[in-house]
Structures are given as structure tokens and as C-alpha cells.
């Protein structure tokens, strides 16, 4: 009886190891497939948190990481959302949502971004969450850079808010086509670990 039980436990252990090996192989295959595609990681970062997340996504995908640079950089005073006269507050109050606003901060490296996106298959777009939405400058990006036929992966960073409807609202203003594959995306609370990013990338289906 004991011998039978030992054999059963041994068989179960072998099966579990086999299942784990297959799972790890599948994740590795997905990551390998992702790296075959040309990836560009675009990000806007005001304090550095989104920049850190973008660099880790770039490492996981082998993609080119490009900052979305404001022609008029945001200062600490501009980012003071507690000040009614600050730049970000004025942008926020210009309309019920950024998608409905006419305020579009200019991007200084827009030409370089267009060139990189044109050659890419997959485009990650990262940004901090401001008042539950993507910053207005990210709308400048999606309204001026063609994402037709691309796979788009939104990602955000925030302390308390999630991705929410920010990516969906961006999609309504983006230059896309029927062949554009706009994935759900995700939010990272503060700077994610490389392990967390790798795991997320491994589960994405381009």
C-alpha cells in the first residue's frame, strides 16, 4: 500500500513538473515571437516613473524606446495640480475630457517618432494618469502619428488610479484602421519590477 502511494506521488510530481515545463516554454516562445516583431516603446513621463517602466518594456521586447518630448517642457510649477493657474490644471479644465479639448501641447521630436512608428509592427504608448486620463500631449501623439495596421499596447503609471478609460478615449482620437489591433493594456502602480514586466509581456498576444 505504501509502495503504491509512493508511486502515485512520484507520478503526480512528474506530471506537475511536465506541466510547469510546458508553461515556461510557452511563455518563452511568446517572448521570442514578440522579439521577432519590430517594437517601438513611446512614452511621456513628467516625473520619471513612466520612463522607468518604458525602459523595462524596451528590455523585455528588444524594442526601441523613445520619449515623447514636449516642445515646451513641463516644469515643477506646470505640474502643480493643486494650483488653479498651473499648466496641467488649465489643460484639465479646458474641456470635460482631454479627448474633447482643443489644447494640444506640441511634440518636439514628432518627426523622429513618426519615422520609428512607420517601421514598427508593435507600438507601446505609455503615460502617467492625470485626473483619470492620459495627458493632453499623448492625444497630440495619437492624432498626428499613423497607427494604421499596427498593434497598439497602452500602458500607464499611477499611484492610485488604474488605466481606467484612458486608453479607450485615446483610441477614439487615434489615426487607426480596421487592421489596427488595439490591446487592452495595463497600469503599473509606481515603477514595476523587470520580472513583473516580463510576465506581462509574456502573456500578450500580438
Question: How far lies 165's CA from each of 50, 133, 147, 155, in Å?
Answer: 18, 7, 19, 12
Q: How far apart are CA 130 and CA 8, in angstroms?
A: 56
pLDDT at 32 over 50: yes
**Torsion (CA) 129, 131, 132, 135 in degrees, nearest 10:** -50
pLDDT at 22 over 50: no
- Whether this prediction's pTM lies above 0.85 is answered by no
Q: pLDDT digit string (tens) for 131-159? A: 999 999 999 999 999 999 999 999 999 98
Give CA 49 to chain center in angstroms. 12
Question: What does the block give as the cell for 17?
Answer: 513538473
Q: pLDDT digit string (tens) for 56-76? A: 999 999 999 999 999 999 999
Question: What does the block give as the cell for 197?
Answer: 514586466
Amino acid at each position: 500500500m505504501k509502495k503504491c502511494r509512493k508511486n502515485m506521488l512520484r507520478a503526480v510530481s512528474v506530471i506537475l513538473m511536465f506541466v510547469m515545463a510546458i508553461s515556461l516554454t510557452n511563455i518563452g516562445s511568446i517572448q521570442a515571437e514578440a522579439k521577432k516583431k519590430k517594437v517601438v516603446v513611446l512614452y511621456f513621463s513628467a516625473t520619471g516613473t513612466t520612463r522607468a517602466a518604458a525602459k523595462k518594456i524596451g528590455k523585455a521586447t528588444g524594442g526601441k524606446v523613445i520619449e515623447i518630448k514636449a516642445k515646451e517642457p513641463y516644469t515643477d510649477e506646470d505640474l502643480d495640480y493643486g494650483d488653479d493657474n498651473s499648466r496641467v490644471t488649465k489643460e484639465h479644465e479646458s474641456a470635460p475630457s482631454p479627448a474633447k479639448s482643443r489644447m494640444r501641447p506640441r511634440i518636439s521630436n514628432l518627426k523622429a517618432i513618426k519615422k520609428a512608428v512607420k517601421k514598427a509592427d508593435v507600438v507601446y504608448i505609455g503615460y502617467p494618469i492625470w485626473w483619470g486620463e492620459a495627458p493632453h500631449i499623448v492625444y497630440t501623439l495619437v492624432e498626428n502619428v499613423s497607427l494604421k495596421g499596427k498593434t497598439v499596447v497602452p500602458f500607464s503609471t499611477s499611484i492610485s488610479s488604474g488605466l481606467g478609460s484612458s486608453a479607450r478615449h485615446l483610441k477614439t482620437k487615434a489615426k487607426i484602421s480596421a487592421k489596427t489591433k488595439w490591446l487592452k493594456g495595463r497600469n503599473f502602480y509606481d515603477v514595476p519590477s523587470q520580472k513583473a514586466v516580463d510576465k506581462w509581456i509574456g502573456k500578450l498576444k500580438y
